[in-house]
Amino acid sequence: MREEEKVKDIQELTKEVTNMRKELDSLKEVLSGLIQVMMDHNDQYNDEDEYN
């Protein structure tokens, strides 16, 4: 019975790790998009032509 519990625990942990990886990938996409928006927004105000 003890071996079966270990296998179940490992399967459960594997599922959790897989879900965490998916969440991290989603977060990476969101952060990447946010950084891109911030950079684009920043570029609008850093044009030297505006000040000339």
What is 1-52 written as a DSSP string?
-HHHHHHHHHHHHHHHHHHHHHHHHHHHHHHHHHHHHHHHHHHHH--HHHH-
d(CA 14, CA 5): 14
pTM: 0.63
How does pLDDT run across 9-32, given as a tens digit for each residue? 999 999 999 999 999 999 999 999
pLDDT at 24: 98
Residue 52 pLDDT greater than 80, yes or no: no
Residue 38 identity (one-letter amino acid): M
Label residue 39 exposed, middle or buried (CB < 10 Å: 0-12, 13-18, 19+).
exposed
